[in-house]
């Protein structure tokens, strides 16, 4: 009896884990951006050795060095970019040495990059000859130093394996607030955990939660007057994980400022 009930509770626990795990994966979406196991793709490089050509970009982060992403970044083909909802996601990428022993360095290991940009299609080129980012191709345009860690530059394009990994960040999640008293445009950055915010709410100490809409990349907007009271945020990642960040700003916040919460996703 004793051992039987122990087995039962074990299988109940097991079922619980299966359900929880299954729900997480389902919430992560169906696209190639939600690949958590090694998956084949291809990679090219851009932006030059100093990364100057990787600044700005379709996620809206601006200067990669002041944001903390540095040279460890990638531009994603539209299939991966998911209209900007993959901004901030972290990917581990390794050269497929079995498929390309000529250009992959044999013991290069992998690189971990943050999605900071999109790689737009070029319909004037075939997808197997220059139109590498044309849908439905799953393609990473890596910052030059990430590419050349794994393969010779002359390769141009290399076969890779990639998977989603957790982002390693220093400090709390950060919010840069722009706009005017009647319109907020909030850039979310330095996001830990799986890194890509797919839903964002805002409130001040006098309002209830207001759902923001994605403006572009990692920029979210709302049309409410929130000045004069401290702001809080509630973010949901692509994996479904949700956290509230309360009292992130002071009452005197103004547009153009960046505020850091004292917590983050892990
Ligand atoms: C697309 O490819 C053509 C032909 O090489 C090139 O002239 C053009 O600049 C490319 N367009 C974009 C948006 O990269």
pLDDT in tens, 116-126: 999 999 999 99
Sorted by sequence, the CB contacts under 8 Å of residue 260 that are 6+ apart come out as 171, 172, 173, 174, 175, 190, 248
How far is the centre of ligand 1, averaged over its atoms, from the C-alpha of 97 (Å)? 29
Predicted pLDDT at 227: 96
Q: Where are the beta strands (DSSP E) in the chain?
A: 39-46, 73-77, 90-95, 110-119, 139-143, 158-165, 174-180, 183-189, 197-204, 210-211, 213-216, 219-222, 231-237, 242-245, 257-260
The answer to whether the beta carbons of residues 45 and 142 sit under 8 Å apart is: yes
Closest to 46 measured CA to CA, from 128, 136, 157: 157
- Among 125, 130, 134, 156, which is best to mutate for testing ligand 1, by the most ligand atoms less than 8 A from CB? 125
Predicted pLDDT at 224: 96
How far is the centre of ligand 1, averaged over its atoms, from the C-alpha of 50 (Å)? 23
Predicted pLDDT at 108: 96
The answer to whether the beta carbons of residues 150 and 140 sit under 8 Å apart is: no
Does residue 7 surpass a pLDDT of 50? no
Does residue 54 surpass a pLDDT of 50? yes
Q: What is the DSSP code (8-state) at residue 153?
A: G
What integer is the mean pLDDT of 55-84?
A: 97
How far is the centre of ligand 1, averaged over its atoms, from the C-alpha of 122 (Å)? 6
Take atom 11 of ligand 1 and give the residue whose Cα is closest. 122
The predicted model scores a pTM of 0.88
Closest to 172 measured CA to CA, from 249, 61, 253: 249
Take atom 13 of ligand 1 and give the residue whose Cα is closest. 122
Sorted by sequence, the CB contacts under 8 Å of residue 12 that are 6+ apart come out as none
How far is the centre of ligand 1, averaged over its atoms, from the C-alpha of 209 (Å)? 44
Does residue 17 surpass a pLDDT of 80? no
Does residue 101 surpass a pLDDT of 70? yes
How crowded is residue 66: how many other Cβ atoms within 10 Å of its Cβ? 12
Domain 5-20+171-260 annotated CATH 2.60.40.760? yes
Q: Which of 15-24, 86-95, 201-210, 230-239 has the lowest mean pLDDT?
A: 15-24
What integer is the mean pLDDT of 218-237?
A: 97
Predicted pLDDT at 5: 32
Does residue 160 surpass a pLDDT of 80? yes
- Among 78, 124, 132, 133, which is best to mutate for testing ligand 1, by the most ligand atoms less than 8 A from CB? 124
The domain spans of the chain are 5-20+171-260, 31-165
What integer is the mean pLDDT of 159-179?
A: 98
Does residue 78 surpass a pLDDT of 70? yes
- Distance CA(7)–CA(51), nearest Å, equals 56
> Which fold, 31-165?
Barwin-like endoglucanases (2.40.40)
Confidence label for 30 from pLDDT (cuts 50, 70 and 90): confident
Encoded tokens for 238: 């692509």
CA distances from 85 to 81, 116, 179, 198 (A): 7, 11, 21, 6
Confidence label for 171 from pLDDT (cuts 50, 70 and 90): very high
What integer is the mean pLDDT of 243-254?
A: 97
How crowded is residue 35: how many other Cβ atoms within 10 Å of its Cβ? 18
């Amino acid at each position: 009896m004793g051992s039987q009930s122990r087995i039962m509770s074990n299988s109940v626990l097991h079922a619980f884990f299966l359900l929880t795990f299954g729900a997480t994966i389902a919430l992560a979406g169906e696209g190639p951006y939600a690949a958590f196991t090694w998956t084949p793709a291809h990679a090219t490089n851009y932006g030059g050795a100093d990364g100057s050509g990787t600044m700005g970009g379709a996620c809206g982060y601006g200067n990669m060095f002041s944001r903390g992403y540095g040279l460890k970044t990638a531009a994603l083909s539209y299939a991966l970019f998911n209209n900007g909802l993959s901004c901030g996601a972290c990917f581990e990428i390794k050269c497929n040495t079995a498929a390309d022993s000529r250009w992959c360095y044999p013991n290069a290991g992998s690189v971990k990059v943050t999605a900071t940009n999109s790689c737009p299609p070029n319909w004037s080129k075939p997808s197997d000859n220059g139109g590498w980012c044309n849908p439905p191709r799953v393609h990473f345009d890596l910052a030059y130093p990430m590419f050349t860690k794994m393969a010779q530059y002359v390769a141009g394009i290399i076969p890779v394996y990639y998977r989603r990994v957790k982002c390693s960040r220093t400090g709390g999640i950060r919010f840069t607030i722009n706009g005017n008293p009647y319109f907020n445009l909030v850039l979310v950055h330095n996001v830990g955990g799986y890194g890509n915010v797919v839903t964002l709410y805002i409130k001040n100490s006098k309002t209830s939660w207001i759902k923001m809409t994605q403006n572009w990349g990692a920029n979210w907007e709302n049309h409410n007057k929130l000045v004069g009271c401290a702001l809080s945020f509630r973010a949901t990642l692509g994996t479904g994980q949700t956290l509230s960040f309360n009292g992130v700003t002071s009452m005197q916040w103004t547009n153009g400022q960046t505020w850091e919460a004292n917590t983050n996703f892990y």
